[in-house]
Structure 1
Amino acid sequence: MENDVLYTSNRNKLKSIWLLPFTLIAVILGWAIANIGITIGMMVIVLPFVIAFVIVLFYKPRFGIYFFLVYCFLMPTLGKHIVGIQFGLGMDAILVLIVLSLLFNTTNRYRIRHLNNDLFWIAFVWFVITVLQIGNPERPSFEGWFYEMRSTTLYWILTVSTGYLLLNKKKDVNIFLNIIIILSLLGALYGVKQNILGPDAAEMRWLEAGAKVTHILFGKLRIFSYYPEAAQFGASQAQLSIMCFILAVGPYNKAKKLWYLIAAVIIFYGMLLSGTRGAMAALVGGGFTFLVLSKQIKMLILGSVIGLGFLGMLKYTTIGNGNAQIVRFRTSLDPEDASLQARLRNQKKLREFIKNKPFGAGVGTMGNWGTKYNADKFISTIPPDSMYVKIWGMYGIVGFIIWFGSMMYITGKCSGIIWKTRDPVLKNQLTSICAGATGILLCSYGNEVMNAMPSSAVIYFSWVIIWLSPRWDTPLPAGNSK
């Protein structure tokens, strides 16, 4: 058969048929890259991986949650290094795909009725309030509303709902902690590299585009690692540092305690490199939360003395003034600091502007999106400098009270759940998670931290895990009816 001329000829002819479409694809791809840019070529290369991801996601929806969490850490640096692609919209796409995978999942394991809990309804109410803000009397730009509402409410309600349905196993607590600790540790190491070798070409381009105004102070670079910017890097590192310190004193073997301690120290150093003064709130708030939830009066007193001693050292001494990062942290305790005074002046302007606007000036009127889409409005010229101030300006005093009340309720209930937890390992894990989330909430008073990635995703999933934790707790001893 092999010697048959017609057979050989037909076989070669069959093979040559495939040359035409592949040649055509190569020509089209080459033309697209030459005329549109390298971005289109990368999109074509990435497309098979996207298809594979969607297939896996529809079979294993839980995989989507973990992927989303990793993506939230790496997305900012992708945007700096690959120009022309809106990587931020990738978060929206992933969350929507997770929702679709849940709707079309044939196992019937994920039921909407499971979302009938107060954590979801709080997020839903805030989502409705944000939608109603489209009709704000100040008539803000719809484009500004759309982009702002994604970080203000969309990611909140989508992460809470998908997380509540998918993070339903006790092992998810360990996986969640491992992911955020490893990524934070790598972020700290990348920050050390950035501090020693300097930013790469793409990061320098980002700095020169305007970021150097806030990232190069007195000739010293504020390290931002692969995070959106230095403030987010510092706050996130502070959150994970205090979490790792809490885990290091948990009921684990020596090897695990050592792992957590090493991670805590390295991540703490990453926080110092950021030069973010607001990160101090995460350390203080997270540490105090741990001391209260530990239920040990002696530890609470000792920890409070040590904490107050540390703050006193920063405020009343000059110890460590040879280190630029410590000097910057020290200014956070100075009531006459120029940055603090500027923030107070901005808040005074805002107070005068919205005193007759109980529902604020509208979502998307402050911050980056306000400057871009609502430049004709006076409020867009007032830097928010804070998540709290931004909520106050956009939603008014009515919206701020609802939002702040929601934050206090969630924090209080998280603490109540942990207070009743009996499993010592689970209690330690939940305490670290709650302390980190509380720290980020406090950090958001000084910076827009809670509405930026990865802190936003971490804090929302933290709430979900604590809310779900009673189902994993150690059962009551036999005969105990409480």
Structure 2
Amino acid sequence: MSATTAQIVRYSSLGFILLALALIIAFGQIPAVISLAILPFIGLYFYLLFRYPIIGVYTCLLFSFIANGLSRYIPGPLGLTIDLFLVLTLIATFFKRFDNKNWQEFQNPLVWVALFWVLYCVFEIFNPEVVSYEAWAYAVRSPAFYMLFTLLLGLIYFKDIKEAERLVHLWFAFSVLAALYSFKQFYFGLDAAEKEWLLHNASTHLLFGNLRVFSFYSDAAQFGAAMAHTALAAVILALGKQSFRRRFFYILTAAVCLYAMSLSGTRGALFILLTGGMVYLILCKNYKVLIPGMLILGCAFFLLKFTYVGHSNYQIQRMRSAFNLSDPSFQVRINNQIKLQEYLESRPFGGGIGSAGYWGLRFSPDTFLAKTPVDSWYVKLWAETGVIGITLYLLITLFILIFLAVRLWTFQHSPQRQLLLALFAGLAGITVANYGNQVLGQMPTSLLFYLSIAIIYTLTSASSGKRHLLQ
């Protein structure tokens, strides 16, 4: 017996509301008597979670969109709620399938390479350069455990096209809400909590008097990348064979998210669109789409790179600077990478996970790696895991992309192929955009990235194809 879309939305929302109330109670905002009143509902949610463990996946998805935004209003490590629900969902899955001796979902190359990478990250704790073990415990979640846990859950629960479509539609719905909220920020201003947050981030979010909107995401860079990711997938789905209602929903989603992306001022988001678009045009194997599509992408690149069309608009100016190699911020990044190269020459395993970026500043602020900005996801991994770690990570990433691309190239079940192409184009775009920003290090992109890998694998498997033909 499986849960319906309405049940999943209802029960996932219940989990969110209950946890929000629990946090408010924990910080003494409402009386203890109310905490006793909600205990039965908490019990109900856990009962439903262990009966329908997939509810935990969707609860994680919901929190991945709003946890960063809530942290501006509610103190405490709200990001850990995603970890909590991931672990609870894995436990619920184990008990649900305890008597099932068939775990074939995990017998594939994707799980093996993910396990290998997790082991490398775990052994990084023995790196002699590690300054803070607490920093390692916090920082290792994003590059390692989120990858493994999400992949495992995706392989179990997304084995048919209907479940994959449900996930994508909820993703699009949350993204549209995020985009609409960013319009509120841009046209009507920020609330008190957001203004307080902006005071500490004005150097990157208030440029020449122009606000870079961030909605309820961690920052503008992550928001812009997420909007580009959503818009790319929505456009590709709209190009497929769809009902009028679905095509309208996809086009609306793409338009709203593209505009929100421009308001974020995230230059790296353009590379998600360009890379993902080119990958889709190649894999779709349709010359009627390939040739005009390449012309459109080429014209867009030409207009941004070699002309000043629309230069009076600040958002267009900001996007155009992404193709300017002499841009001051780009040169600063290059200089920082040169410093890191000199520092890491004698440290093949890096400075230890958690030594750079946010966690480095929090737990070891006086160290070289903490003081040196690492804007790129790849540069961050390079600094923390060394040349050996980043080489291993890039090889694993390339293996996954090539492995999935080959499966997609030979997969001919057209009703679901368009969805898989949309997901794969997103993977390719994010992989490239990771060089400019730490896109994969933040939610919801991280969760959607690894779920996309799992969905593409399961729906291109032989058993999935047979199920589709029988329907």
Please say whether Structure 1 and Structure 2 have the same fold, judged by a TM-score greater than 0.5. yes
**Map of 1:12 onto structure 2:** none
Cα shift readout 1:25-52 (whole Å, capped 9, x = no counterpart)? xxxxxxx98x964278687676554333
Aligned-pair RMSD on alpha carbons?
A: 2.2
Instruction: Say yes or no: does 1:243 pair with 2:233.
Output: yes
Instruction: Say yes or no: does 1:409 pair with 2:402.
Output: no
**CA distance, structure 2, for counterparts of residue 451 and residue 150 of structure 1:** 9
**Map of 1:68 onto structure 2:** 60
For residue 113 of structure 2, the aligned residue among 90, 97, 122 is 122
**Map of 2:136 onto structure 1:** 145
After alignment, is 446-455 or 46-55 more displaced? 46-55
**CA distance, structure 1, for counterparts of residue 191 and residue 36 of structure 2:** 26
Listed as ranges, the matches of 1:10-25 within 5 Å are none
**CA distance, structure 2, for counterparts of residue 272 and residue 163 of structure 1:** 31
**Map of 1:472 onto structure 2:** 464
**CA distance, structure 2, for counterparts of residue 477 and residue 63 of structure 1:** 28
**CA distance, structure 2, for counterparts of residue 85 and residue 58 of structure 1:** 27
**Map of 1:3 onto structure 2:** none
1:135 and 1:173, CA in 2 relative to 1: closer, same or farther beyond 3 A?
same
After alignment, is 149-158 or 289-298 more displaced? 289-298
Give the deviation of 1:113 after TM superposition: 4.4
Listed as ranges, the matches of 1:132-281 within 5 Å are 132-208=123-199, 210-281=200-271
Letter in 2 for 1:317: T
Contact 2:350-2:386 at 8 Å conserved across structures: yes
**Map of 2:361 onto structure 1:** 371
Give the deviation of 1:169 after TM superposition: 3.1
**CA distance, structure 2, for counterparts of residue 110 and residue 468 of structure 1:** 19
**Map of 1:442 onto structure 2:** 432
Contact 1:62-1:167 at 8 Å conserved across structures: no
State the percentage of identical aligned residues: 34
Cα shift readout 1:93-143 (whole Å, capped 9, x = no counterpart)? 101111111222267458544312111111111110011000112132101
Cα shift readout 1:406-447 (whole Å, capped 9, x = no counterpart)? 111111112112112222120000000111121111111100
Give the deviation of 1:301 after TM superposition: 3.0
Listed as ranges, the matches of 1:318-329 within 5 Å are 318-329=308-319
Count matched residues: 444
Contact 1:127-1:157 at 8 Å conserved across structures: yes
Cα shift readout 1:171-197 (whole Å, capped 9, x = no counterpart)? 111111111111111111111111111
Instruction: Say yes or no: does 1:347 pair with 2:337.
Output: yes
**CA distance, structure 2, for counterparts of residue 351 and residue 361 of structure 1:** 12
Instruction: Say yes or no: does 1:50 pair with 2:55.
Output: no
1:416 and 1:45, CA in 2 relative to 1: closer, same or farther beyond 3 A?
farther
For residue 105 of structure 1, the aligned residue among 96, 103, 106 is 96
1:54 and 1:432, CA in 2 relative to 1: closer, same or farther beyond 3 A?
same
Contact 1:236-1:455 at 8 Å conserved across structures: yes
Give the deviation of 1:311 after TM superposition: 1.1
1:277 and 1:65, CA in 2 relative to 1: closer, same or farther beyond 3 A?
same
**Map of 1:26 onto structure 2:** none
Instruction: Find the residue that maps to 1:473 and give its secondary structure.
Output: helix
Cα shift readout 1:146-181 (whole Å, capped 9, x = no counterpart)? 110011111111111122122233311111111111
After alignment, is 99-108 or 153-162 more displaced? 99-108
**CA distance, structure 2, for counterparts of residue 155 and residue 96 of structure 1:** 10
**Map of 2:7 onto structure 1:** none
Instruction: Find the residue that maps to 1:356 and give its secondary structure.
Output: coil
**CA distance, structure 2, for counterparts of residue 250 and residue 235 of structure 1:** 23
**CA distance, structure 2, for counterparts of residue 453 and residue 195 of structure 1:** 22
Contact 2:280-2:422 at 8 Å conserved across structures: yes
Instruction: Find the residue that maps to 1:38 and give its secondary structure.
Output: coil
**CA distance, structure 1, for counterparts of residue 421 and residue 119 of structure 2:** 31
**Map of 2:322 onto structure 1:** 332
**CA distance, structure 2, for counterparts of residue 476 and residue 182 of structure 1:** 26
Contact 1:140-1:363 at 8 Å conserved across structures: no
**CA distance, structure 2, for counterparts of residue 254 and residue 96 of structure 1:** 39
**Map of 2:12 onto structure 1:** none
**CA distance, structure 2, for counterparts of residue 46 and residue 365 of structure 1:** 40
**CA distance, structure 1, for counterparts of residue 132 and residue 406 of structure 2:** 41
1:97 and 1:475, CA in 2 relative to 1: closer, same or farther beyond 3 A?
closer
Letter in 2 for 1:245: V
Contact 1:293-1:418 at 8 Å conserved across structures: yes
**CA distance, structure 2, for counterparts of residue 285 and residue 114 of structure 1:** 30
Give the deviation of 1:64 after TM superposition: 1.0
**CA distance, structure 2, for counterparts of residue 49 and residue 368 of structure 1:** 36
Structure 1 residues without counterparts, runs of 5 or longer: 1-31
Contact 2:130-2:353 at 8 Å conserved across structures: no
**Map of 1:284 onto structure 2:** 274
Contact 1:77-1:227 at 8 Å conserved across structures: yes
**CA distance, structure 2, for counterparts of residue 173 and residue 410 of structure 1:** 19
1:218 and 1:138, CA in 2 relative to 1: closer, same or farther beyond 3 A?
same
**CA distance, structure 2, for counterparts of residue 435 and residue 212 of structure 1:** 33
1:477 and 1:222, CA in 2 relative to 1: closer, same or farther beyond 3 A?
closer
For residue 317 of structure 1, the aligned residue among 307, 310, 322 is 307
**CA distance, structure 1, for counterparts of residue 337 and residue 168 of structure 2:** 37
**Map of 2:451 onto structure 1:** 461
